[in-house]
């Protein structure tokens, strides 16, 4: 598919799209509706939201030294609530920020979860061997 730059989507229009998406985040069917109203793809809308979230996080975060590992008592709890699906990545980031635990960005958490997930055995490999473990 060929990339087509939309000159009619001004920065003010993009800001309006992100504002609407933020206000209606979590409401069933609102993202497709916003995308249809502005004649854009949902992928583009989510990319705009991701970029805006990143900018917001950069503007609002305190400049603290990076590279410290999360407090050891937080790591197992973070893994458990995320794998159970009971806590979102931004919520986990906010919890770590509240306790002044570094690093606490959504990107760092995502990379950590990907690292842990890669260490888990593949469910496809388990399905190929009847009897489970």
Q: How confident is the model at residue 133 (pLDDT cuts 50, 70, 90)?
A: very low
Residue-wise pLDDT tens digits, 84-127: 777 788 888 888 888 787 778 888 888 887 877 777 666 655 55
Token couple for 24:
């209606």
Q: How confident is the model at residue 33 (pLDDT cuts 50, 70, 90)?
A: very high
Q: Is residue 127 left, alpha or beta, with left meaning phi > 0 and alpha meaning psi from -120 to 50?
A: alpha
Residue identified by tokens 């997930």 is 117
Q: How confident is the model at residue 67 (pLDDT cuts 50, 70, 90)?
A: very low
Cis peptide before 103 (omega within 30 of 0): yes
Distances (CA, A) of 116 to 14, 121, 127: 35, 10, 21
The H or E element spanning position 96 is helix 89-98
């Amino acid at each position: 598919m060929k990339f087509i730059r939309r000159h009619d989507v001004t920065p003010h229009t993009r800001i309006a799209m992100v504002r609407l998406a933020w206000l209606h985040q979590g409401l069933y069917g609102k993202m497709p509706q916003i995308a249809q109203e502005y004649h854009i793809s949902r992928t583009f809308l989510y990319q705009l939201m991701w970029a805006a979230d990143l900018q917001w996080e950069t503007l609002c975060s305190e400049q603290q030294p990076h590279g410290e590992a999360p407090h050891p008592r937080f790591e197992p709890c973070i893994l458990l609530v995320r794998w159970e699906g009971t806590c979102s990545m931004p919520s986990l980031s906010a919890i770590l920020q509240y306790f002044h635990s570094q690093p606490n960005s959504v990107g760092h958490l995502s990379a950590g979860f990907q690292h842990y997930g890669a260490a888990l055995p593949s469910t496809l490999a388990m399905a190929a061997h009847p009897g489970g473990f």
